[in-house]
Structure 1
């Protein structure tokens, strides 16, 4: 291991930009992850930046496996809509329209 190595970066401590619950998406600048604990805005929270997660999605969208998935920070859901959203994942599985939950693999 290089002497300047700090950590793998799969889990990272960030300052919560808003109140979050464990399992919720968290976007800090361009860093995205899933909260591991509940945290109030301004508190430290650990986020997981890699892995496969089930999470709320835009219900009125059909997803194909491998599709680019974006984080809609205003709606706090995953979406295939790129406009004003941040690319954070790929669709791990296809998802029907309508469906409230999608499975994603984070880009981390």
Structure 2
């Protein structure tokens, strides 16, 4: 392996910007991921940047599997299909009805 390799970057340690529960979305600067444990504001938390996750979903939006681009609404702390003012995090992995409060999301690991 190359001597300059540091880590794969799939799971990283970050400082929680607010209290966060295990399994919740976390946005720190331009990096989004899912917390792998509970953390108080200012504490370190392990965050997974890729994979398929069931996350809090904005209601009033239907998603089409593998077609609907998804964004993190850092104010509402949920995933939305609304791009304006939000951070692109991935794509819907399954169809979701507009009334669903949880949606299946493929995190693609891109940065805002």
Q: Which residue of 1 aligns with 2:57?
A: 57
Structure 1 runs, 4 residues or longer, greater than 2 Å off:
none
Alpha-carbon RMSD across the aligned residues, in angstroms, is 0.6
Q: Which residue of 2 aligns with 1:69?
A: 70
TM-score (norm. length: structure 1)? 0.97
Give the unaligned 5+ runs of structure 2.
none
Between Structure 1 and Structure 2, how many residues are aligned? 108
Question: Secondary structure in 2 aligned to 1:3?
Answer: coil
Shift of 1:36: 0.4
> 1:66-102: CA deviations, max 9, x gaps?
2110000100100000011000111001101111110
Q: Distance in 1 between matches of 2:12 and 2:35?
A: 10
Q: Distance in 2 between matches of 1:97 and 1:21?
A: 25
Give the unaligned 5+ runs of structure 1.
none
* 1:92 to 2:93 alignment: yes
Q: Which residue of 2 aligns with 1:42?
A: 42
Map residues 12-51 of structure 1 onto 2, 5 A cutoff.
12-51=12-51
> 1:43-70: CA deviations, max 9, x gaps?
1100000100001101110001121100
